[in-house]
Structures are given as structure tokens and as C-alpha cells.
Amino acid sequence: MKAWILMMLALSLPVSAFAEEGGKEEGGAPKVAYVSLTPPFVGNYALDGSPRLHVYKADVALKVTGAEAEAAVKHQDPLIRNQLVALFAQQTVDSLSNVESKEKLRQEALKQVQQVMNTEEGKPIVEDLLFNNLIVQ
């Protein structure tokens, strides 16, 4: 009976050690995650008085490392979304017309998300921002 208990304890040690590491891969490095901000962003932009309505749809994902960072981004989701909606609404037809300007928008969006995280969590946390889809009309 004593040997059986010792064997069960020995078998359970590796499992509990793995459970404590949570968001880590096999090598011990933190796991990279992409947090999709859902639902996609949809709204108007370039409200310059012209009769034509300009609409955008953006599917955004944020790259973070570790389970704690992923949880922090999910916790701050409403504030991040608010900041990005305000940024997208400020855009003009020219700022969304070519690849270079969309890349500038992506970098500005990343900067603003990092500012939100820095203010709320004490560090930028988000490593990159990706447009999985960006449609403008």
C-alpha cells in the first residue's frame, strides 16, 4: 500500500509542475498569442461634408506573449476598442488609399494600444498589431 501511494505521488509530480507553467511552451519560453478583437470594427470615416459615405471594416489582432499578457489585453478590451474607433474615425480618404498609408495607420494603432496598456497596466504588453482584414469604401 505504501509503495502504491509513493508511486502515485511520483506520477503526479510532473503533471503538477507542468500545470504551474501555464502559458509556456515546452522549452520554457512564454507562449505567443494573437488576441482577436471581436467583433470587427465597422464605422464611418472622412466625414468632411461630402455627400458620399465612407465606410471601413477592420479585423484586428494583437500579438502578446504569455497568458498574463493575454488576460490583460482581454481585460482592457473596451478601452482599446474605444481608442481604435476614435483613430479610425479620424482617417481621410487619402490616409486609407494605399499600402503605405495603411501601414502608417497600423503603426499608429499599435502605438495607441501600447499607450492604453502602459497607462492601465504599467507596461506596453502588446508587441504588434495586425490587420487581418481592412476594407474601405
What pTM did the predictor assign? Answer: 0.76
Q: Which of 83, 70, 77 is nearest to 125 (CA)?
A: 70
Once rounded to an integer, what is the mean pLDDT over residues 83-111?
93
Instruction: Assess contact for 60 and 131: CB atoms under 8 A.
Output: yes
Instruction: Assess contact for 79 and 113: CB atoms under 8 A.
Output: no
Q: What is the pLDDT of residue 51?
A: 73
Q: What is the pLDDT of residue 8?
A: 41
pLDDT in tens, 10-26: 444 443 333 334 455 56
109/35 Cα distance (integer angstroms): 15
Structural domains of the chain, ranges and CATH numbers in brackets:
29-136 (3.30.479.30)
pLDDT in tens, 73-84: 999 999 999 999
Instruction: Assess contact for 76 and 116: CB atoms under 8 A.
Output: yes
In this model, does residue 54 exceed pLDDT 70? yes
Instruction: Assess contact for 101 and 94: CB atoms under 8 A.
Output: yes
Residues contacting residue 18 through CB under 8 Å, at least 6 positions apart: none
